[in-house]
Structures are given as structure tokens and as C-alpha cells.
Chains A and B, each alone.
Chain A
Amino acid sequence: METPQLIVSPAPHIRARQSTAGIMWMVVTSLIPAAAAGVVLFGRPALVVIVSSILAAVLAEAFCQRVTGRRITVGDGSAVVTGLLLALTLPPELPWWMTASGAAFAIIIGKQVFGGLGHNLFNPALAGRAFLLASWPGAMMTWKWPAASLSWAGESVDAIGGATVLGLARQGFFAKHGVAVPYSQLFMGNIAGSLGETSALALLIGAVFLLAFRVIDWRIPLGYLGTLAILALLAGQDPIFHLLTGGVLLGAFFMATDYVTTPITPGGRFFFGLGCGVLTFLIRIYGGYPEGVTYAILLMNAAAPLLEKATIPKRFGEVRADV
């Protein structure tokens, strides 16, 4: 028999279908409801932020890979994820060029200088956000209430102007006036905030999608949200208010679950979430900013290697000498 052209390669000779690019595009898909909610709530400027952030991220990635003579891999979707995630954390009316510089920073300094996908220490999107916060604090703190919020907040929206719900709470606004934001409005996202963080509904749709396809590990959001809620309860504050305001849901399901910058061990992932919850709460209560998600996750990113080392699972049949 004539021997045909045969390929020799190492076992296993079958592979699971899910690929890295596939995972990235699933994350993009899961963020579409939140992005759409942002555009519906805040209008065209939000769309400009989203488009400029994604474009700048993709171009920056291609540029870096071109300059360093590596294969251009923007098709794997990871730069799109970073650009989109960054956009969702920004004020809806941020000028396009600020957005673009933030996205470029996220990719170039946050990711590519470390060696590209898989090698960065910090969540690139949050690194980009921290950069923008430091560079243009004014623009990064200019919030706008959605036009639709007039329907429930009425004239008072004008009075409170450019503050988020968390900011107002921090100033004691609600306590002073004896009012509260209805949960339903928080849930729908009919409040001021970053363009993709306000609608809990849209974020939860995406989160369920990612959990159902096992793209993200449930341990991280559980540790994060659970810790935050428990701390709020212990401090005599409203846990639901803490969960529905600010960037907690966006952070817990989409940022703190970033593979590259979180521990790979199951135990490490839970404690990573727990740490994010503690830091978010501390910053919200005692920090200089009304919101703490960005820095909480970035700080925990730095702690991730240590957490990982401390939570290496016991091997099957392992007899540890010190036990």
C-alpha cells in the first residue's frame, strides 16, 4: 500500500472547541448589552467614546506588534475587549481624543510592554482608566444624568448636576434631603455614572452569559460581591445600594475576572474577589474618591502572584511533609 502524506504531532489528537480568540469574542458579546444601554441612556456621545476607545486599542496593538516585528494578532479580539471595557468605565461625554489616549496607554503601557497577551501584570483597561484619571481629573469626574432620569428625579437632577449617586451619598445628600434613589432606577441604570456601569440589568445579562459558558470563574464575583455586601451590612449601610451603584458589577464580572491578571488557582481566585470587595469598601468609605473599584482591582492585580503561591492546590495523593 502506498503511504499517504501523514502528519505526525504530539497527543492529544483532539482538542476542545473553545479557543482563546473565541473566548475574547464571547466577552465582547457579553458586553454588548451594557454598551447598548450606555448608548440608549447617554446618546451619541457614548457611542463616540466606545468607537474611539476600541479603534485606538486595536490600532495601538497592531502598531506595537508591527514595530517589534511580531505577528499582528488583533483578530484574537483581546484588544477589542480592552478598548470596549475601558469605554464602559468612562464618563459618557469624554472627548474622543482623551478616550483614544487612554486606550492607547492601556494597550501600549498596560499590555504590550510586558510582552503582550498573557504577560501583563495589571488589567490593561483599568490601567488606561487610572491614566486618564491622573491626566484629566476634571473631565473624568464630569458626570451627566441621563435625559430619561428626569422622569423620576424631576427638577432635582439640575440641582445635583455633575455628581454620581455614589458621590452624592458620600456628600450626605440623600441623608440631608431624606430621599433615596429607587432600586428600580439603579437597576435599569437611569442614573449618572460611567457609560457602561450604570445598568445593572444589562451587566447581569452579560454576566449570566459568561457564567453559563464557563468563560469566567464564579468564585471571583462571589468573593467580590459577597464581601462587599457583608461589609456594608456590618457597617450599617445598605448592601443593595453598594452593589447597584458605581462600577462594582462591571468590575466584579468583567474586570476582576480577567484571566491574565488574576490567580490561576481556584482558592486564589476566591480570595482575589474577597480582597477586591474589602478594598472597594474601604476606598468608598475612607478613600479620597467616592468610587474604589478601579484601584481595588489594580491593587489586587499586584497581589495576585502572591495569592496564587499561597493557594497552590494539594496534589492528588500528596503527602505533605509538614502535616
Chain B
Amino acid sequence: MRAKTFRKGIHPPGHKERTAGLPIEVFPAPQKVVLPLCQHIGAPAQPLVAVGDEVTAGQKIAEAQGMVSAALHASISGKVTAIEERPHPAGRNLPAIVIENTGGEGFSPVPEAKPGRPLAEITGEEIKELMRAGGLVGMGGAAFPTHVKYYPPAGKKIEYVILNGAECEPFLTCDHRLMLERPAAVLYGLKAMMKAAGAKRGYIGIELNKVDVIKVLQEEARGDETIEIVPLRVKYPQGEEKMLINAITGRVVPAGGLPVDAGVVVNNVGTAAALADLLQTGKPLISRVITVTGGGIKEPKNLEVPLGTLLEDVLAYCGGLTDSAGRIVLGGPMTGPAHYRLDLPVVKGTCGLLVQTSEEIGDMEYMDCIRCGKCVEACPFSLLPNYLGLYAEKNRLEEAERYGVMECRECGSCAYVCPSRRPLTQWIKDAKRKITAAQRKTG
């Protein structure tokens, strides 16, 4: 199979064997869910319910605030017991709506959805409105409100919709399983996105380590000239938005620009499936598939969990932690943050729960840069991560900016290859944060 790819990048071991063959299990509604008002990039949602209210699954409980924001829906039926600050995967306490399960069944679909209609009868404008009403955000991890991407700035046109099925992060298999088990939903979602965007072509990029999915989707899309399933080389960060666009279309998104500047919109395959559910059944974004894996987990699984389910409940369902568990990562090992508490909820952008053993953590001491150049060879954006790291470490932000620090997408490739184990990505993130803060200040 001929596969496309981008230049540079790295080849970390995949470690997907633990869960790649495990069908998605549906996680039973937990006793309690904690639904943060901000599970997306943008303004937090505004609560529509009060403590003591009874809610049913699917009911809107918080409204989006402004364009870049997302609505929030109850993921289980029950009673609102608190609206207060709770631990959030962002690393601090943030406002959340807590719902206790009262055993109620019920489900209230998104009222605007009018399920049961064929796609031909739904207009592009309606689809965009539904993305907004259903609280859809990018499910690959960034959690950017989906509808925003479908309102391109004046003068820009979307020609292609690309679904990201690369799943280039090691260990994760949730997208793999989703595409394999629900190919029709993924394709339906893609067609709906193309309609919303007025795009002429749709692509699904999938790494060659998922040949089964490539075949299934190719079969499913047979006869549709507007959709192409694109095999991609197994390389990290193949699923990075700009690298994916480059691999599939050959186009280069200008530095500092957005995919729409290259006439492209990229969405995760999980988002496409969620859109299909929304259009076909009226189900808003209230659950997602996550991969629970790693040497520190007794029974690794692919799970469809209600949003707001706490990590401790997920872990208990997977047999708990092994004695050697030493580090918990939300998402994949390349970009996911490590956490020290288990009362965090699964949010819209959570794609996995990786538990590493103490042995896998290894030595964290780092040495001086020996200028080996491995980070330069790895960086998909052709930056000089060693210098960015040095400047960031020494707080020389102007030089870091001159060397393109803001172009970094924090994929982690540089730190991965560094033989001196320098935390380059961390320094770079820190510098970016400081520069952005300074720019805000000066306005």
C-alpha cells in the first residue's frame, strides 16, 4: 500500500497491541459525573440549571457564551447536586456542574435535530447550527469548538475536509476501534461536514498500522468519488494538523496561519462520528471513546464513557492500578499531561488514560546540550529546538521569538529524541505562554 507522509518526524514504538484488538465497551452510567463548564478552547459555558434540578441525559445544562464556546449537556440522568469549582484536567479547580445518578433512564435529544431525515434534506447551515447546539468540539485532544471552523473568514473558501484518523500518539487505539466498529458513522459525519463546508472533497488519513480500518473504510466509501481514504506512513506527529494537510494535499499552511488558509478543515474521526450521532439520533456530545492502557492498568480497555466520569471510576472498571503504577497521563504519552489525582473527570478532549509503571518512567535528570542535532532532524516545523530550549530556559524570550518559538506545536518530538534528556518541549511551552501573556498585556 502506498502511503503518504510529511518530512522529518520521529518513530516512537507504537505500544498499541494491548488494546488494538479490544472492542469498545460501553461504560455503565456512573454514580456521579462532574461536568466542567469549560471543556473546550474559548469562553466557559453559562449554567442553565440550578442545584437541586432534575436533569435527563442529553438535556442542555449550560449555554455557549459567544462564538468560540461550546454548550454542555447532561451526560447522565439525575439531580444537580453542586455547581462549584472542581479539579479540572487543566491542572486547577474550575467551575463544574455535578450530577448525581438517581437511576432515571430517559434521554432528551437536541430539540433542533429532528432525527430520521436523510442527509440530503438537511442544509449546510442547519448542520453548522447543530454542531453548535450539540456542543461539538474537536475530540482529538485540542477541543476546539467544531462549528467555528465551518465559518471561514471572508474571502476564504473550504475546498477539502480532512478527517484525522492517523492516531499517531503511541498507546492510543480509541480512534482505531471507532473507525473499525462504526465506519458508516464516520463517513456520514464526513459527508455532513463536507456539506456544512461546501467542500468538494473529503479525505480520511489513516496510518498504515491500521490496515484493517483502511480496508473497511475503503469498502464503505466505494463508489463515492468525492471521498478518499488515504494511507499514511507510521510516523509521529502524522496527525498534527499541518503535517496531515501537507501529507494528504501537499499544501503548506503558512506559518502563523490556519488550515483554512490552505482551503482545508481538519476534524478528528471521533468528532465526525459524534456529528453523525447528533444528526441521526439527536444525541449531543455527552460521551466519548477513550483508551485506558499502560503497564500500570490491570485490564486495559477501549471504553465509551459518559463525559464527566471520574478517572477513579474508570480505573475501578478496568480492574484498578497495578502495584507498579507510577504515572498517570491524560491522553497519549507524547503530549498528554501527567496528573497526580484521580478525581478528575473525563472531558470532551480526553482521548486516553495511560498509566505507566515506575520502571517505564526512568531517570529524569538532564545534561547540557551536546549539539547532536537530533532535535533539528526531528522537528517537523524545521525549527532549532536546542536553541529554543536554551533561550527559553534562560528567559531570553526575544531571541526565542526570533528563532520561531511561536511556530512550535508542542508535539514533543525534540524532547523525545534528545539524548541529554532535556525537557525542550516544556521550556518551549513555557516561553510561548510568557510571550502570549506579554502580548496580551501590551494589547
Contacts and interface: CB of A to CB of B under 8 A. Distances in A.
Interface of A: 1, 3-16, 18-20, 22-23, 73, 76, 115-119, 217, 259-260, 262, 264-266, 269, 312-319
A144 B432 CA distance: 60
B384 A316 contact: no
Given A117-B370, A315-B381, A15 B421 contact: yes
Contacts of B12: 14, 16
Interface in B295-340: 312, 315-316, 320-321, 325-329, 333-340
23 contacts: A1-B342, A3-B340, A3-B342, A10-B425, A11-B329, A11-B412, A12-B425, A13-B336, A15-B415, A15-B418, A20-B372, A20-B419, A118-B367, A118-B368, A118-B369, A217-B373, A265-B384, A266-B377, A313-B384, A316-B380, A316-B381, A316-B382, A317-B256
Nearest to A1: B312
A23 B417 CA distance: 13
B334 A7 contact: no
Contact of A10 (B384, B418, B426): B426
A316 B371 contact: no
B368 A15 contact: no
A146 B383 CA distance: 50
Interface residues of B, number: 69
A18 B415 CA distance: 12
Nearest to A264: B373
Contact of A15 (B254, B327, B362): B362
B247 to A, nearest CB: 12
A271 to B, nearest CB: 14
Interface string B357-396: 0101110100111111110110011111010000000000
Contacts, number: 166
A106 B104 CA distance: 78
B170 A10 contact: no
A315 B10 contact: no
B368 A116 contact: yes
B419 A317 contact: no
Nearest to B417: A16
Contacts of A217: 373
Interface string B203-224: 0000000000000000000000
Nearest to B413: A12
Nearest to B355: A6
A117 B367 contact: yes
B338 A9 contact: yes
Interface of B: 10, 12-13, 170, 242, 246, 252-257, 312, 315-316, 320-321, 325-329, 333-342, 354, 356, 358, 360-362, 364, 367-374, 376-377, 380-384, 386, 404, 407, 412, 415-421, 423, 425-426, 429
A119 B412 contact: no
A264 B364 contact: no
Nearest to A215: B372
Nearest to B334: A12
Nearest to B403: A312
Contacts of B10: 16
Given A13-B354, A316-B255, A8 B340 contact: yes
A272 to B, nearest CB: 12
Given A11-B335, A315-B383, A316-B255, A6 B315 contact: no
A264 B339 contact: no
A9, A13, A115 interface centre (most CB from chain B within 10 Å): A13
A317 B371 contact: no
Given A8-B340, A264-B386, A319-B255, A14 B416 contact: yes
Contacts of B342: 1, 3
Given A14-B334, A16-B417, A316-B252, 12 more contacts: A1-B316, A6-B338, A11-B334, A12-B416, A12-B425, A13-B329, A18-B374, A20-B367, A23-B372, A118-B367, A316-B246, A317-B381
Nearest to A317: B255
A7 B327 contact: yes
A15 B252 contact: no
A317 B254 contact: yes
Contacts of A10: 338, 415, 423, 425-426, 429
A53 B252 CA distance: 53
Contacts of B13: 14
A314 B13 CA distance: 29
Question: Which 9 A-B residue pairings sit nearest by Cβ, starting from the closest?
Answer: A12-B412, A10-B426, A118-B368, A317-B255, A13-B333, A316-B381, A20-B419, A264-B373, A259-B372
A259 to B, nearest CB: 5
A11 B337 contact: yes
A260 B368 CA distance: 11
A249 B371 CA distance: 22
A269 B371 CA distance: 12
B85 to A, nearest CB: 20
A319 B419 contact: no
A8 B371 contact: no
A11 B419 contact: no
A125 B63 CA distance: 68
Contacts of B407: 315-318
Contacts of B425: 10-12
A301 to B, nearest CB: 12
Contacts of A116: 368
A54 B321 CA distance: 49
Contacts of B374: 18
Contact of A22 (B339, B356, B419): B419
A316 B423 CA distance: 22
B242 A317 contact: yes
A1, A3, A117 interface centre (most CB from chain B within 10 Å): A1
A270 to B, nearest CB: 12
